[in-house]
Structure 1
Amino acid sequence: MKIIHLHHSGFLIQFDDKTLIFDCFTKIPNNFMRKGIPHYFFVTHGHSDHFSRDILNVEKEFQPTYIFSDDIPEMHTPRNYRMAPYQHMSLGGLDIKTFGSTDLGVSFYIAANNHRIFHAGDLNWWDWDTTLRPDIDPAQEEKDFKAELARMKGLPMEFAFIPVDPRLGDSFYKAGEYFIQEFHPKVLIPMHFRDDFSIIEKFKTKVEPTDTLIPDFRGRNITLKTSWLDQF
């Protein structure tokens, strides 16, 4: 198993028999794609920093299948599926459940190859500075985020991809910290920070000590091949 950070909230997970790709809106290096292996593209919502129509141009030899949030218009391409929040689907050895978002679209909970993977999309505790976003109700944002996570109570969490967004200022860590407290995932992978990789170390200083492993990575198209992943 390999986990590759593409960019922002984009990740690629390689198993021996399949590849899962989440929220890709940048070009995937050719060496990350494997001929004759099915590639499953998951898109949590239609924002331009999570979705590009370029993924529809993947060559047939990579056996692409697309699982879109239903906020994205129907695509006229083979093997594509649309899912609303709180739906369930079995597909190609994957068990896929959707949950909601505190912005747009869905979040994905996937059982694959004896692993449990959660990709939050834009499900985040959007605790904006109200001097910058006077339209935001911080109390309601907290309530909405925690209510959505309550819907997932009891689900085993192994790999969780959670927004750690530096635009939130001093509140950037709240979603990740709360997620760790509620679910104790084995691994929490920060995302949704563009190229501000320094936010990962800042996040770790906020939430550690914790039994949850938090990888540190410093670039786009990086394979997370550190000792913490070897045990999985």
Structure 2
Amino acid sequence: MKIFHLHHSGFLIQLEDKTLIFDCFTHIPTSLLRKGIPHFFFVSHGHGDHYNVDIFSTNRIYHPTYIISDDIPKASTHKTHAIGPYQHMSLGGMDIKTFGSTDQGISFYIATNSHRIFHAGDLNWWDWDTSEKPNIDPIQEEKDFKAELEKMKSLPMEFAFIPVDPRLGDSFYKAGQYFIETFHPKVMIPMHFRDEFGIIKQFKAKIGNTATVIPEFKERNVRIKNTWSLDN
């Protein structure tokens, strides 16, 4: 397994027999795409920092298939599967479960190739500063986030992609910390921070010692160094 950070919440995972691409809204270097290997695009919702209609222009030599949140207007009829929260589908050797979000769209849980992968999309503990967003109810935001995680507590977590959003100020770490304490994933990869890569180091310092590996990366379109195993 090879994991590449594309941008923001966009990631590309190369498995032996397939490539998974999550929430891509920027150009993917062709060096990361493999001819003759199926590429599965997962889109959690239609926000512009998670989705770009250009994904449907992917060359057919990469055998693209699209699994998109049903809040997105259908932009292609080519191997496109619209799916809502709390649904299940089997596709391409994958067992795919969807859960909800605390913003828009869905989150994905995927079992494939002996791996368990969770991509949160915009499922986050949105603990905004109420002086900036006076309409936000911080108590309800916490309840909504924790209630959504409760729905997946029986699932083993190996790789989890979780928002660590610097716009939340002093609360940027809450979702990631709670997720780690609840599920103890093998690897938690921070996301949803645009180009503020320093937030990863801040997050690790904030939560302290944990058995969960939190890899650091400092640029777009880069492979995330495998510090959790020797299988690469």
Please give the TM-score of this superposition, normalised by the length of structure 1.
0.98
- Name the CA distance, whole Å, in 2 between partners of 1:154 and 1:162: 18
1:12 aligns to what?
12
- Name the CA distance, whole Å, in 2 between partners of 1:88 and 1:64: 20
Question: Structure 1 residues 208, 115: CA separation in 2 closer, same or farther (over 3 Å shift)?
Answer: same
- Name the CA distance, whole Å, in 2 between partners of 1:149 and 1:56: 31
Q: How does 1:87-102 map to 2 (within 5 A)?
A: 87-102=87-102
- Name the CA distance, whole Å, in 1 between partners of 2:226 and 2:69: 32
1:165 aligns with 2:165: yes
1:116 is paired with a residue whose SS is strand
Cα deviation code 1:152-209 (max 9, x no counterpart): 0110000000000000000000000000010000000000000000000000011120
Q: How does 1:145-160 map to 2 (within 5 A)?
A: 145-160=145-160
1:177 is paired with a residue whose SS is helix
1:226 aligns to what?
226
- Name the CA distance, whole Å, in 2 between partners of 1:93 and 1:111: 9
Offset of residue 77 of structure 1: 2.4
1:36 aligns with 2:36: yes
1:198 aligns to what?
198
1:213 aligns to what?
213
The amino acid across from 2:156 in the alignment is P
- Name the CA distance, whole Å, in 1 between partners of 2:95 and 2:34: 22
1:227 is paired with a residue whose SS is coil
Alignment gaps of 5+ in structure 1: none
Question: Structure 1 residues 83, 52: CA separation in 2 closer, same or farther (over 3 Å shift)?
Answer: same
The amino acid across from 2:157 in the alignment is M
Question: Structure 1 residues 222, 121: CA separation in 2 closer, same or farther (over 3 Å shift)?
Answer: same
1:185 aligns with 2:185: yes
2:109 aligns to what?
109
The amino acid across from 2:187 in the alignment is V
Offset of residue 225 of structure 1: 2.6
User: Does the Cα contact within 8 Å between 1:96 and 1:108 map onto a contact in 2?
Assistant: yes
Offset of residue 229 of structure 1: 4.5
2:228 is paired with a residue whose SS is helix
Task: Kindly tell me the number of residue pairs found equivalent between the two proteins.
Answer: 232
2:46 is paired with a residue whose SS is coil
Cα RMSD after superposing both structures:
0.9
User: Does the Cα contact within 8 Å between 2:53 and 2:75 map onto a contact in 1?
Assistant: no
1:230 is paired with a residue whose SS is coil
The amino acid across from 2:50 in the alignment is H
User: Does the Cα contact within 8 Å between 1:56 and 1:77 map onto a contact in 2?
Assistant: no
1:189 is paired with a residue whose SS is strand
1:174 aligns with 2:164: no
Please give the TM-score of this superposition, normalised by the length of structure 2.
0.98
Alignment gaps of 5+ in structure 2: none
User: Does the Cα contact within 8 Å between 1:107 and 1:121 map onto a contact in 2?
Assistant: yes
- Name the CA distance, whole Å, in 1 between partners of 2:193 and 2:229: 22
